[in-house]
Amino acid sequence: MNEQRFQEITGSYARLRIAVVGDFCLDRYLEIDPAKPETSIETGLPVYNVTNVRAQPGGAGTVLNNLVALGVGTIIPVGFAGEDGEGYELCRALAAKPGVCMDHFLQTCERHTFSYCKPLVVEPAKAPRELNRLDQKNWTPTPATLEERLRTAVAAVADRADALILLGQVDVPETGVLTSRVLEAVGEIARAKPGQLILADNRHSLRGFPPVVFKMNVAELAALTGTAPASTITEIALVAVELARRNGRFVFVTLAERGLVAAAPDGHSEHLPALPVRGELDIVGAGDAVSANLTAALAAGATLPEALELANAGASIVVHQLGTTGSATVAQLRALMLGNGQADGTADGGIV
């Protein structure tokens, strides 16, 4: 991609309106200083002294963080948080992001705020080391009244947005935002507006999702299609093309160190190898960077190869940001893709 085309695509991001529908959570990082050892008088156990706390939107919020970093003009989160301390932090963090419209983000006393608490041991000249995570989730079905509010919100934002991104993060079906009833509403939108760009990604499987643009990894592709896990790029592309034909929408498959595959309903497929590794890696958030960059690029008029190139670069930047779930700015993308400087850097307070 040359400079002119890069500018044409990314220069359109400020005019886009993109909705992110899914499971927003709070990522709370506890930075532990091992140089301050202590033993608890009460228990006799070692104490981890926390010297800094960072909190940022996670889950679907990671997709949102990447859209913010790209300079997307209006970003509309559709999801929920509890009426608890974590919910306060999450809503405050979302609202503080430029371009974020909170009109359709709900708070409810019927749910806990989904949160990941991540203790990190931080030592000079070393990559952060994550200890056992402390998660807070909802284990019961999403209340019907909340489902209806979410269905109404999805219908409302579909009329305003250039694109929608669906991101499911829960482990137990029907306990998050993208319940079967909410997915029914998405399916109605997809049928009524066949030209609407809707990209879906789900932590475990896209089974039960309406036929929209699917994004997944190789294992998820095999599980969804009922095929043996493909090993070669050609085999993966063939399976993805068949799924794209069936859905009538693009299918994107992430291949980790092997890059990305895209399949179109007309039988065309593209493969883009991953960029070279440039140091230590932290793969958390790479898939969300792909989702955000694909959606923004396609909504801005990028071709399929151009969208893949931007998404591939975004993921490469994110995996080189350590100790945080990172994001990639347009300036970082330009530096990596066009060679105009240093691509990697700190995102959202992360440690590099």
10-residue stretch averages of pLDDT, the chain, 352 residues long: 94 98 96 96 96 95 96 98 97 97 97 96 91 96 98 96 97 96 97 95 94 95 86 93 96 91 96 76 73 97 95 86 72 88 39 23
Q: What span, in angstroms and rounded, lies between the C-alpha atoms of 17 and 32?
A: 39
Burial per residue of 285-303, b for 16 or more beta-carbon CB atoms within 10 angstroms, e otherwise: bbbbbbbbbbbbbbbbebe
Top CATH class, 3-338: alpha beta
pLDDT at 274: 82
Look at residue 201 and give its three-state secondary structure: strand
**What strand order describes the sheet that includes 269-272?**
105-108, 74-82, 17-22, 163-168, 197-202, 213-217, 251-254, 260-263, 269-272
Q: What span, in angstroms and rounded, lies between the C-alpha atoms of 58 and 119?
A: 15
pLDDT at 326: 74
pLDDT at 323: 60
Domain extents for the chain?
Answer: 3-338
pLDDT at 280: 61
pLDDT at 257: 83
Which residue matches tokens 């990596």?
336
Task: Please indicate, yes or no, whether the overall pTM of this predicted structure exceeds 0.85.
Answer: yes
Q: What span, in angstroms and rounded, lies between the C-alpha atoms of 256 and 4?
A: 29
pLDDT at 348: 33
What the block records as the tokens of 184 is 């029914």
pLDDT at 73: 98
Contacts of 173 (CB under 8 A, 6+ apart): 179
pLDDT at 85: 96
